[in-house]
Chain A
């Protein structure tokens, strides 16, 4: 079975602080993809990043960075120098690619980030 755990339900930080959102996943498949999505108050899920299971290189995009560690089944997301516009619910998601059949995209419960000016 596939599962995504985001243990942090809510986080509040003061603007310009760095913040890390944790994501732990479970899958028996060796091929899988991991995603992060942002859901601002408007409600639309915005795709941020995709990572496949064979690429453990960390990635940086502006103030965003992602740390993928297969040894701990984690795919954590760090926002550097947070801004008020970063306030949103962030979801980690997993799509396993089994040898046969198909699996759906499985989401965690999300972490609500509030950045206070």
Chain B
């Protein structure tokens, strides 16, 4: 399977614990995005990378959240001191941006469902 993969698929943690999620994008894609989706809502943008550079962060991304893409391939999203309000589906997506222009469609992974108890 050469699609976007995410690990783990499910995570249950106690309030106050730290969690880390991993995303592996489609191999030739240079852009990687993180979204959060709560029940009954559409995905909300958190942050994105072009190669290893984090180019944009949403105001939703509080200082307890940090994302990295150290080698421009996989990415990690860490949440420190989790709160019950962090319970959501965390989605990763990737796309290909070319110098000649981008088609802008993003391909999504299956998501990591986080439950904070």
Could you list which residues of chain A lie within 8 angstroms of chain B, going by C-beta atoms?
4, 33, 35, 37, 42-47, 50, 91, 93, 95, 97, 102, 104-110
A42–B6 alpha-carbon span in the complex (Å)? 14
B41 interface contact, C-beta 8 A: yes
A47–B48 alpha-carbon span in the complex (Å)? 19
B65 interface contact, C-beta 8 A: no
Q: How many A-B residue pairs have CB under 8 A?
A: 54
| Stretch touching chain A among B16-24, B70-78, B102-110 | B102-110
Q: Does the CB pair B91–A45 fall under 8 Å?
A: yes
A91–B104 alpha-carbon span in the complex (Å)? 16
A105–B105 alpha-carbon span in the complex (Å)? 9
Q: Does the CB pair A109–B40 fall under 8 Å?
A: yes
Name the contact of B111 in the complex, choosing from A33, A44, A93, A109 (C-beta under 8 A).
A44
Q: Does the CB pair A104–B40 fall under 8 Å?
A: no
A91–B58 alpha-carbon span in the complex (Å)? 20
Contacts of A37 in B (CB 8 A): 108
A100 CB to nearest chain B CB (Å): 13
Q: List 19 A-B contacts (CB under 8 A).
A: A33-B104, A33-B105, A35-B105, A42-B110, A44-B108, A45-B43, A45-B93, A46-B108, A47-B106, A47-B108, A91-B42, A93-B42, A102-B56, A104-B45, A105-B45, A105-B104, A106-B45, A107-B43, A109-B41
Contacts of B44 in A (CB 8 A): 107
Interface residues of B in 61-117 (CB under 8 A from A): 89, 91, 93, 103-111, 113
Contacts of A109 in B (CB 8 A): 40-42
